Amino acid sequence: MSNKLKPLALDRAMQEGLPLCYRQIMVSDEIMDEPTMKSLTMDFPKYRHSSAFIRRPRKPISKPEL
Amino acid sequence: MDIEAVSQDSREKYVFLFSDCVPVKGHAASAIYDLTRGRISTFPSEYYPFLESIREQRLGELLDGLSEDDRAGFLELLEFLFDNEYACMRADPGAFPAIPSGWDAPCVIENAIIDVDAQHHDYAKIVAELDALGCQHLQVRSYSLLFGASELGALARVCHGTSIQTLQAILVHDPARSDDDYAAVVRGNPTVISLTLHSSDEDRKLEVDRGARGSSAALTKAEISFTTKKLESCLDCGSITVGALLAPTTPTFNELHHLNGCLNRKVSVDASGQLRNCPAMAKSFGRHGEVALAEVVAQAAFQKPWRARKDEIKVCQDCPYRYACTDCRALLEDPDAEDSKPLKCGYDPYTDSWTNWRERPNAMATVEEYRKRHRLAVLAS
């Protein structure tokens, strides 16, 4: 047990191409119980914040009798 | 909601119709367009004057000036407005200005149609010219097997890297082609957002998965529709039904308020290569390849139908759905009157009822008249 914060393990995050904020940043064993771990761990999928632009015309181009 | 209690508690306030809930007056029925939720509610037009009064008077003043009968009707309308979240009570409705009603688009031409029947066009040239005009959406409609899945794939590749963001296709179903052939074209060309195959042997739909995961999958998947109905020519268009009405949004509402819903910023190449506002319109502006598209669309005569507003069209001007309807200026109930209502619209604003437009007196004779004119135009070209 140690009160010191562990150094951030950035290498893995960097290798995965994840922005740094996607990783848990506070890891002191003394204060980390299971619920705290859960509440602090942000396990976001890689592309969670990407937005998909779906292209659609605003209105029908024609109105065929189909 | 206890509307009596609300009306007593809010006598000093105004009934405020939210800025994105716009009343539209019709003859028998009027409507409220909810531009944020994209829905339209209709109500008897007898209630419409109340919507005008609520802007000018506080609720107390308004109620005191009404007869017993009118009071009951007004409270009924209030209940309708509150239940649908179209209105609320406000001491100072002036703090909520109206949404600006202007409309514009960052392009000279927004959408285009290419019709194909017995001859091909110079698709690369058309697309290059549309690109120069900033055209965003292209629809190709084929009436023969001349333009099929391979041609659609080739056209989609030509569109790649141009201003054209979406490509819709309505083609003849070729029995020699498998579902996989069609699915491959759609899957391999994200620009192709819809494919309808008419003259098919059955009515069905085929979903094409584009490989997206989770919630994005539903947004990116495309659908191929097979229909047994046959599209014979550009005259098989202009159908206005309840299902064809637009879910209102601020941009479409503003556009349809000031401009024509179908023809505004549209250009078409008909099956014989003539440039028109719409393939079914009588006036040609020359043959593609002989005249430049940019020169055609810059002409005042070409842009005139863009401004054919529903408010200036007979019968349509009394319709509560006029700002959700994309109209048709090519096939009219009276072919000789420019301001006639669309031939293929079955709504009667004077009785607030939808019927089959074909059952209207003279409707089929008018269709035949258009067919004759179309045949003559084809022969002349």
In tens, the pLDDT along A2-42 reads 555 555 555 565 566 655 554 444 455 555 567 766 665 55
From A1's Cα to the closest Cα of chain B, the distance in A is 41
CATH topology of domain B3-95: Outer Surface Protein A; domain 3 (3.90.930)
Interchain pair B168, A61: CB under 8 A: yes
As annotated, the residues of chain B forming the CATH 3.90.930 domain(s) are 3-95
B111: chain A residues, CB-CB within 8 Å: 57, 61
Neighbouring CB atoms inside 10 A of B146's CB total 15
So what's the ipTM on this one?
0.88
State the Cα angle at B287 between B121 and B374, rounded to 5°.
Answer: 90
State the Cα angle at A49 between A43 and A52, rounded to 5°.
Answer: 135
From B262's Cα to the closest Cα of chain A, the distance in A is 7
Residue type at position B242: V
From B65's Cα to the closest Cα of chain A, the distance in A is 44
Residue type at position B346: G
Neighbouring CB atoms inside 10 A of B166's CB total 20
Q: Are B24 and B322 in contact (CB under 8 A)?
A: yes
| Distances from the Cα of B282 to the Cα of B107, B109, B227, B279, B301, angstroms | 25, 20, 29, 8, 13
* Chain A residue with the nearest C-alpha to that of B194: A56
Q: Over its length of 381 residues, how does chain B's per-residue pLDDT go in tens digits?
A: 788 888 888 899 999 999 999 999 999 999 999 999 999 999 999 999 999 889 889 999 999 999 998 999 899 999 999 999 999 999 988 888 899 999 999 999 999 999 999 999 999 999 999 999 999 999 999 999 999 999 999 999 999 999 999 999 999 999 999 999 999 999 999 899 999 999 999 999 999 988 777 777 777 788 999 999 999 999 999 999 988 899 999 999 999 999 999 999 999 999 999 999 999 999 999 999 999 999 999 999 999 999 999 999 999 999 999 999 999 999 999 999 999 999 999 999 999 999 999 999 999 999 999 999 888 877 777
Q: Are B350 and B27 in contact (CB under 8 A)?
A: yes
Q: In chain B, positions 121-140, which contact chain A (CB-CB < 8 Å)?
A: 136-137, 139
Question: What are the sequence ranges of the domains in chain A?
Answer: 1-45
* CA atoms of B217 and B212, how far apart (whole Å): 5
| 3-state SS, residue A20 | helix
Q: Are B314 and B320 in contact (CB under 8 A)?
A: no
Q: Is B257 on the interface with A (CB under 8 A)?
A: no
